[in-house]
Structure 1
Amino acid sequence: MPADTRPLAIALMGPTAAGKTATALALAERHDGEIVSVDSALVYRRLDIGSAKPSDDEQARVRHHLLDLREPWQPYSAADFAADAHSAVKDVLARGKLPILAGGTGLYFQALLRGLAPMPEASPEIRAAISARAAREGWAALHAELAAVDPLAAARIHATDPQRIQRALEIWQLTGKPISVWQAEGRRQARFPAKVLKLVLAPAERSVLHQRIEARFDAMLAAGFLDEVRALRALPALAEHPAVRDLPAIRAVGYRQAWDYLDGATDAATFRNQGIFATRQLAKRQLTWLRSQYDALWFDPQYQHRKLNAAVAAFLPRS
């Protein structure tokens, strides 16, 4: 087999609140890199506090790519991300920099590094009907329905992941073919332009991650997260949107719970508890996906930064 002569890149993956932003910044500054965001919430403008978007100071320290690409009401797919990320990585490499792919959206990493199976376009009508059923019956019931028609997909999709449940049922209703079959029939393989070292940053103890999630959620509240959501609700494009709750930006963890609270559906304590619980569930799904990345190296952010830095140094050529 011929040697892989592609330039090099780092993929820094991990669950939410694991410390990826700080680690990516440190790696970029140490190795003359630029950060390519792999996060489905960070593509949206105006979603700053609740998405833990890198601050203006952090973006001034290191150049970031794929932030603030869309308004919250505008569509953005995994295929859009893959195309944009390929262009960004090629741009970083062309300027002699190290691309650092940093984020926690597994579907985006998969789309970028492995390619995506061709899929039918989304149907707003079918999505609205599925959402209406979910409001009546609950997502667990729809997950059970998915298990009946596509057990392979249901085994991969958690019952608390409404966006993926909705898409899988949508594909089934549109085509009569399970999404798992679509995925197995082939992916569009656009060879990634770099050889990638995969790193996972995750606390070894789940309780530590839960503490980090709770602390970050409280810090977001103190930083004005609810005011950020109030500003979103005041935008005509969202205030007048016929299916605002179905928008991926508004369904993002934290934003969905804040929207309900500001609608008067919950009290402040319930909102906080629901937001923290939803973030924990997101982290659980992320960790499940990360465990399938058999070629990734795992590091605990509490005490293994030196080992992580050594792994990166061993991967990169000596200067």
Structure 2
Amino acid sequence: MKRALFIAGPTASGKSALSLRLAEDLNGVIINADSMQVYKGLRVITARPSEEDEAKAPHRLYGFLDGSEVCSAAFWAERAMEEITKAWQGDQTPIVIGGTGMYFKVLISGIAVIPDIPEDIRASVRERCASEGSEALHAELMPLDEATATRLAPGDSQRICRALEVVKATGKPISAWQLETKPGPMQRYDEDGALIKLVLDPPRDVLYDRCNRRFDLMLDEGAMDEVQALMERKLDPTLPVMRSLGVPQLMAYLKGGLPLEDAVEDAKMQTRRFAKRQLTWFRNQFGDWKRLPAQLSESEYRDFLNKKIKKAVD
């Protein structure tokens, strides 16, 4: 039977290290499921695997898009399914790893099939968001799609823009489209028991400490240079890449609007808050996934590998 490993977890929980160990032991192909690590030029600030780690095992869907593009969950799922299929064809074990829970949901459970949005409508909404702010668009969305507007924070510019684009283009709220969901490409494999689904679930204090220490390490390894290069491109500020963890704060520092110490502390705080939301989301949405501690000792890893994983993939 074809098998695949799915490894989810919050930022800084150790997903990359675990996936690399498993890939080396299982002849695996590591497939990225992180919505920021798909972009080029931001290896450090998005905590992509290093070039040395990528050389140890095949890595797919890392840094394959330009920052000027938007990677939807549906687009990612199509690419991920292609890579999973290639791995199976090569008698390798696909290991899908990341912290973007919606990517996993779409790959397994599916997503609503929404018509393409005309470019003029998309551009108009994005331009208004940049000039008027997401809060104004959120207020406009409320009477048009109350269910979605109530669920979204006024500062969630990407999702607010998307919801407003859909209702303007189709005359139908995105919440209504989402009730008409097409099954995901991995759903039948999940139903057949072919998926091994793991969530790294570290104690909150451990996770927060790792978030703080990792951001300091990012600065030492060149995160500021990456953000400087990104800022010089003058991209649309509503693009996902412009809101990657740490990017807005370091840009504010580089523009002279925020002292470095304040920028770093705010970036760390936002990272911790994001990790907390991820923990909550995975606990609420992935109830049937097996929980693992953030770090496994060598003996714990070997026991886990031999008893839980190898038997399933052999």
TM-score under structure 2 length normalisation = 0.86
Structure 1 residue corresponding to 2:266, chosen from 258, 274, 283? 274
Task: Look up the match of 2:279.
Answer: 287
Structure 2 residue corresponding to 1:314, chosen from 299, 308, 313? 308
Give the direction of change, closer, same or farther, for the CA distance of 1:308–1:277 in structure 2 (3 Å limit). Answer: farther
98-107 or 271-280, which moves further after superposition? Answer: 271-280
| Alignment of structure 1 residues 167-178 onto 2, 5 Å | 167-178=162-173
Shift of 1:65: 0.6
Give the direction of change, closer, same or farther, for the CA distance of 1:312–1:12 in structure 2 (3 Å limit). Answer: farther
Give the direction of change, closer, same or farther, for the CA distance of 1:280–1:169 in structure 2 (3 Å limit). Answer: farther
Q: Which amino acid aligns with 1:71?
A: D
Task: Look up the match of 1:227.
Answer: 225
What secondary structure sits across from 2:242 in the alignment?
Answer: coil
Contact 1:299 1:307 in 2 (8 A): no
Give the direction of change, closer, same or farther, for the CA distance of 1:17–1:191 in structure 2 (3 Å limit). Answer: closer
What secondary structure sits across from 2:111 in the alignment?
Answer: coil
What secondary structure sits across from 1:250 in the alignment?
Answer: helix
Stretches of structure 2 lacking an aligned partner (at least 5 in a row): none
CA–CA distance in structure 1, aligned partners of residues 296 and 24 of structure 2 = 20
Give the direction of change, closer, same or farther, for the CA distance of 1:155–1:202 in structure 2 (3 Å limit). Answer: farther
Q: Which amino acid aligns with 1:125?
A: S
Task: Look up the match of 1:107.
Answer: 102
Count of residue pairs brought into register by the alignment? 303
* 1:92 is the counterpart of 2:87: yes
Shift of 1:151: 4.8
Give the direction of change, closer, same or farther, for the CA distance of 1:121–1:276 in structure 2 (3 Å limit). Answer: farther
Shift of 1:311: 7.1
Give the direction of change, closer, same or farther, for the CA distance of 1:60–1:149 in structure 2 (3 Å limit). Answer: same
Task: Look up the match of 2:210.
Answer: 212
Q: Which amino acid aligns with 1:317?
A: K
Task: Look up the match of 1:54.
Answer: 49
What secondary structure sits across from 2:182 in the alignment?
Answer: coil
Between the aligned residues of both structures, percent identity stands at 36
79-88 or 284-293, which moves further after superposition? Answer: 284-293
What secondary structure sits across from 2:55 in the alignment?
Answer: helix
* 1:75 is the counterpart of 2:75: no
Give the direction of change, closer, same or farther, for the CA distance of 1:58–1:171 in structure 2 (3 Å limit). Answer: same
TM-score under structure 1 length normalisation = 0.85
| Alignment of structure 1 residues 123-202 onto 2, 5 Å | 123-134=122-133, 139=135, 149-154=144-149, 156-157=151-152, 161-192=156-187, 194=189, 195-202=194-201
Contact 2:32 2:96 in 1 (8 A): yes
CA–CA distance in structure 1, aligned partners of residues 290 and 152 of structure 2 = 24
CA–CA distance in structure 1, aligned partners of residues 176 and 302 of structure 2 = 38
Q: Which amino acid aligns with 1:278?
A: Q
Give the direction of change, closer, same or farther, for the CA distance of 1:127–1:252 in structure 2 (3 Å limit). Answer: same
